[in-house]
Amino acid sequence: MEVVSVLASPRRRGHTARVLGWVEDELRGRGCRLQRIELAGRDLAGCLGCGKCQEAGDRIGCVQHDEAADILERLVSAQAVLWAVPLYFWCLPAQAKALWDRTCALATGFRTPKHTSLVQGQRLGAVITCGGPPEGADLLLEMMARSAAYLRQEFRWRMVVPYTYRPGVPGPEQEAQARYFALRFLA
């Protein structure tokens, strides 16, 4: 399986990267081909809301020319996409939110019989780290679920790693959970 992972953290070696690494190791060990995209330091502009992407049909029609164009192409080419996100104020970090909004260019014809998506049927997974309790991620997970419905992706794989401010978290318990999450992602 071709899997693209998106490290949405501005910290390339933080808790989110550590947990994602465990998931990726398990996926590789099970024969997956992985490609990681790190958003830190990327030139990613927010969606303009111009609607030009909705006229594109069977291609990515975003009119902006930044690093998002290449990333969107890589997302389309994958069989599965795994987002690894630190929870920032009940949502995505700003740079990740800019890219997430731009994924609207991957579908057209929403709420019409002509609704199509370049990622239809693709697996979508989320690994979320947060300093507080797991229910703090509920809004982000709901946003991801609604976006997945729009893009016609299959979003059944979710993992929340809470209380990352505590010493030793993430640690061995979270590593075991991450590896089990990877197995469920493949099932």
DSSP 58-87: SS------STHHHHHHHHHH-SEEEEEEE-
pLDDT at 53 over 90: yes
* Residue whose pair of structure tokens reads 């997970």 in the numeric block: 141
**What pLDDT is attached to residue 180?**
98
Q: Does residue 170 have a cis peptide bond before it, meaning omega lies within 30 degrees of 0?
A: yes
User: What are the structural domain ranges in the chain?
Assistant: 2-186
**What pLDDT is attached to residue 57?**
78
Distance between alpha carbon 112 and the CA centroid of its chain, in Å?
A: 26
Question: pLDDT tier at 165 (50, 70, 90 boundaries)?
Answer: very high
Q: Exposed, middle or buried: residue 82 (CB in 10 Å: 0-12, 13-18, 19+)?
A: buried
Q: Using CA atoms, how far apart are residues 73 and 77, in angstroms rounded to an integer?
A: 6
Tokens representing 66? 């930044």
Structure letter (DSSP) for residue 106: G
Q: Using CA atoms, how far apart are residues 34 and 27, in angstroms rounded to an integer?
A: 8
Q: Which fold has domain 2-186?
A: Rossmann fold (3.40.50)
144 phi and psi, to 5 degrees? -65, -40
Note the pLDDT tens digit of each residue in 77-87. 999 999 999 99
Question: What average pLDDT does the structure give for the chain?
Answer: 96
Q: Using CA atoms, how far apart are residues 180 and 185, in angstroms rounded to an integer?
A: 9
Note the pLDDT tens digit of each residue in 111-148. 889 899 999 999 999 999 999 999 999 999 999 999 99
Mean pLDDT of all residues in 136-161? 97
Q: Using CA atoms, how far apart are residues 156 and 173, in angstroms rounded to an integer?
A: 22
Per the DSSP assignment, residues forming a β-bridge with 40 are: none
